[in-house]
Amino acid sequence: MRLRDVVQRTGLNRTTAFRILCTLELEQMIDRLGDDGYRTKIKISRAQKFRIAYASQTEGDFFSRDVSEGLRSTANENGIDLIEFDNMYSPERAIKNASKMVQAKPDVAIVYQPYERVAPVVSSIFRQANIPLIAVSIPHPDSVYLGVNGYSVGRVAGTALAKWIRSNWNSEIDAILLLEATMAGAVPHSRLTGVLTAIQESIGGIPDHKVKHWDGRGTFGSSLREVQKYLHGSRAQRVVIAGVNDASAIGGLRAFAEAGRLSHCITVSLGCSYAARMELRRANTRLLGSVAFFPEKYGARLIRLATDLFHGNSVSPATFTPHRLITSETVDRYYPNDVLMSDSDMELLLLRAL
């Protein structure tokens, strides 16, 4: 740039502009080029943009979809490159996606997959590539965990159920169905431990023969079929349903409804995804409430964690998300925008899970 260019752009007179340029040259902020040219020595630092590789659990259920949409929105707001993969609720796909994610060379990886047995394999892929890993809902070795405290949320559900059982069934139950997701391991199962413990502390011990274990795999379809099997051989009329998530509990409720025995069961679900919220709004529902994990807010928390890892900041090995019991009386207060989605949308997603 020449002296005349500086004068033209700044509106300064020639003498003042020349003196400023001489001062900048003396301070080694610019170089003189020939008799009348100048070049800056200052390098403008641009904010470093980083990229995240994310593998969702599936896009076929409400909870997972809320997590994905929240992450996608927050990444976009912060100018972060988000490379997305879908694990499609498959352990084999989760491993393949991990390798594909490494090939994309992200700064941080986020994995949401429910199979405990492949978690070490998935983690090792990122560890070997020296890519920090955040695991959603299911802990993975050498990763940062983000999700609920399973035992605590289970106790919230169990406490609500126990209060209802005391008031309506005189503290008596015929059975408690634990709809498990055995492939997910100990952490999701701790939710059911919390439910059972809270009920037992309130109404007294429950004999082992009344505690029924069924593997609903954390899905609506599998839970529906498992509870249908139970109902074929049981005439119990006071049955507590405890599922690892909303899909499990709603699948159990559907089985009782199709058998014409809906009044024989009661449940509190875990997650408070859209399916649970719509169930809470149904007349005469047997869903007392749902313990909200607020998956729609996971995105902001995941981005904060990823940003800290990217900048080398110290992070806790586990970040527990807030939770709260939502009932039919409070659901509209927390989720007023649900009216924008129709019942047919919910039914479609449930049918896809069959």
What is the chain's mean pLDDT, rounded?
Answer: 91
Region of poorest pLDDT, from 60-74, 261-275, 331-345: 331-345
**Long-range contacts from 314-320, C-beta under 8 angstroms, 24+ separation:** 315/144, 316/144, 317/144, 317/145, 318/139, 318/144, 318/145, 318/146, 319/144, 319/145, 319/146, 320/147, 320/148, 320/149, 320/152
With 80 as the cut, is the pLDDT of residue 342 above it? no
- The token pair that represents 24 in the structure block: 């900048």
pLDDT of residue 5: 79
The CATH superfamily holding the domain 51-148+296-320 is Response regulator (3.40.50.2300)
pTM: predicted TM-score of the whole model, two decimal places: 0.82
- pLDDT value at position 12? 81
Number of Cβ within a 10 Å radius of residue 87: 26
Contact (Cβ atoms closer than 8 angstroms) between residue 191 and residue 323? no
Could you tell me which of 100, 49, 18, 118 has the C-alpha nearest to residue 306?
49
Which pair of structure tokens corresponds to residue 338? 């649900």
**Rounded (5°) CA angle 350-353-73:** 75
In 3D space, the residue among 108, 253, 90 whose CA is nearest the CA of residue 177 turns out to be 253
Which residues lie below 8 Å from residue 289, measured CB to CB, with a gap of 6+? Answer: 157, 160, 268, 269, 280, 325, 326, 327, 328
* Residue 286 near residue 257, CB atoms below 8 Å: no
For residue 191, the surrounding DSSP H or E stretch is helix 186-203
Residue 347's pLDDT is: 52
Q: What is the CATH superfamily name and number for domain 150-292+324-352?
A: Response regulator (3.40.50.2300)
Asked if residue 20 has pLDDT above 90, the reply is no
Looking at residue 60, the DSSP 8-state letter turns out to be S
Reduce the DSSP state of residue 7 to 3 states and report it.
helix
User: What pLDDT shows up at residue 32?
Assistant: 79
- Of residues 13 and 301, more confidence is placed in 301
Phi, psi of 11 (to 5 degrees): 80, 5
pLDDT band at 353 (very low <50, low <70, confident <90, very high): very low
pLDDT tens by residue, 168-190:
999 999 999 999 999 999 999 99
What span, in angstroms and rounded, lies between the C-alpha atoms of 227 and 219?
A: 12
Q: What is the pLDDT of residues 52-80, one digit of tens each?
A: 999 999 988 889 999 999 999 999 999 99
Confidence of residue 341 (pLDDT cuts 50, 70, 90): low
Q: What pLDDT, on a 0 to 100 scale, did the predictor assign at position 305?
A: 97
Share of the chain above pLDDT 90, in %: 79
Q: pLDDT tens digits, residue range 231-256?
A: 999 999 999 999 999 999 999 999 99
DSSP 239-280: EEEEESSHHHHHHHHHHHHHTT-GGGEEEEEEE--HHHHHHH
In the chain, where does the domain assigned CATH 3.40.50.2300 lie?
A: 51-148+296-320, 150-292+324-352
pLDDT value, residue 46: 47
281 to 164, 275, 332: CA distances (angstroms) = 18, 10, 9
**Residue 111: in which H helix or E strand, if any?**
strand 108-111
Residue identified by tokens 């039914």 is 347
Q: What is the pLDDT of residue 350?
A: 52
User: pLDDT grade, residue 45 (50/70/90)?
Assistant: very low
How is 135-162 classified by DSSP, letter by letter? EESS--TTSEEEE--HHHHHHHHHHHHH
175-180: strand order across its sheet: 211-215, 175-180, 239-243, 265-271, 287-292, 324-327
Buried b / exposed e over 146-178, threshold 16 CB at 10 Å, is bbbbbbebbbbbbbbbbeebeeeeeeebebbbb
Give the mean model confidence (pLDDT) for residues 118-144.
Answer: 98
Residue range 84-113, pLDDT digits in tens: 999 999 999 999 999 999 999 999 999 999
So what's the pLDDT on residue 156? 98
